[in-house]
Chain A
């Protein structure tokens, strides 16, 4: 036998049974947290809902021909904050009007369409800010063929503030779950350190340094926390992917399944795993010191 004992995964070697249960519980929690994190990242809180509901309407002058309207829509779609810009000719506008207000056909006297064509502009969820909306609105107003721009500028700031608050609340709930995990994990670590105190004392009596023991336990906790969080995030991402494929309506709220593979999404999941690793390491050290303080 070697002189210097290996203390890696010491808890696993001393008490594998309870750790298996603990690990399964943590993995399930990280699956849920991973699912919630990816949902929040893709949806941007409530940004995607707002962006889906909100549209800028650029009412064109009556004499603007369809071809010109479509050209304008293409130009509007090229603006950075714009997700889509769709031209509706006067005839389509009239049909939409009748669908919304049935029974108003008599307004179209002598076969003449009273409605002009318009361009419906939707903003990207991540660009739905007062500044970006103003940028699009001023760009549209500068165009001579545009008669009016309806952007709800009076209530938009309040709506965006409410949306921001709702997003913060969503992230706050996520953070609260993470904080709850931290507190619970700390208690678990402490209970385990107390349960294994006899074994640690045994090792200390046989020349194992307490500092090395604490450090390697924390390192083991960080590594297992990272792996569990990464696996949990992957499993949560898989569940989210399947949910979005099975229920496409969710895409309007959350986003496209393809967004799960975007580099920034993967980077966020990696950051989440690193954060969990640090939390696990901290809980291990705190549990260790609390158990030792309790023993003294």
Chain B
């Protein structure tokens, strides 16, 4: 369970938001929407333990990320995966490098096992055989999917995605929908921050919970899924 209590952020000389409460349950996919410049990326970095909020606290399984043990916060970050919105910094890398680096953050593992998993994950996101491709040669959609696959290599317990759905593009929505459900079914938590939620996902998720400038949706699990595949 990830909980944000009375979260507040002071930025650009003004209070961006204050007194916001969030609760993201385990083994579920969560969708946070908000208008541009509302602080979605900031919210994700606060929830990941990267940026201390100016007010309030974040609790993970009842332990404070910012007022508790620093080692605990590091362990929390180590268990998280993160797909940022901007990936220009990695342009010099190849897709294979992304996986190598992700594996390094996860503690290495056997080379053959890593390669097998890399191939499977790339195939899953529709990027089969692209290991040697440079990131700079990929489209935005391909970059986002490559980053997602590389993060999944480590098997993170919690996956934070910033603008992933918009970046991946409409043709990938069905794959993503299935992936998030599968991750949730396996006990993982996915938190997505987007400007808008795909209409059919919103219909499936039901009414969102308004929190400050954000709307928080809980995507339905396989059992609660309505007929058809939203996408």
Contact = CB atoms under 8 A, between A and B. Distances in A.
Contacts of B48: 205
Interface stretch (A51-59, A145-153, A195-203): A195-203
A158 to B, nearest CB: 62
Given A1-B155, A198-B90, A199-B101, A206 B77 contact: yes
A144 interface: no
A207 B104 contact: no
A3 interface: yes
Contacts of B75: 3, 207
Contact of A207 (B77, B92, B100, B108): B77
A198 B105 contact: no
Interface stretch (A6-14, A35-43, A67-75): A6-14
A2 B107 contact: yes
Given A206-B77, A209-B74, A5 B82 contact: no
7 closest pairs, A vs B, by CB? A207-B78, A207-B77, A2-B107, A1-B106, A206-B105, A207-B74, A1-B109
Interface of B: 48, 50, 73-82, 89-90, 92, 100-101, 103-109, 154-155
A203 B50 CA distance: 12
Interface string A183-210: 0000000000001001101110111110
Given A13-B100, A14-B101, A205 B108 contact: no
Given A1-B154, A207-B75, A207-B77, A14 B104 contact: yes
Interface of A: 1-6, 10, 13-14, 195, 198-199, 201-203, 205-209
Contacts of B77: 205-207
18 contacts: A1-B107, A1-B108, A1-B109, A1-B154, A2-B108, A4-B78, A4-B107, A6-B108, A13-B104, A203-B101, A205-B77, A206-B77, A206-B78, A206-B80, A206-B154, A207-B78, A207-B105, A208-B74
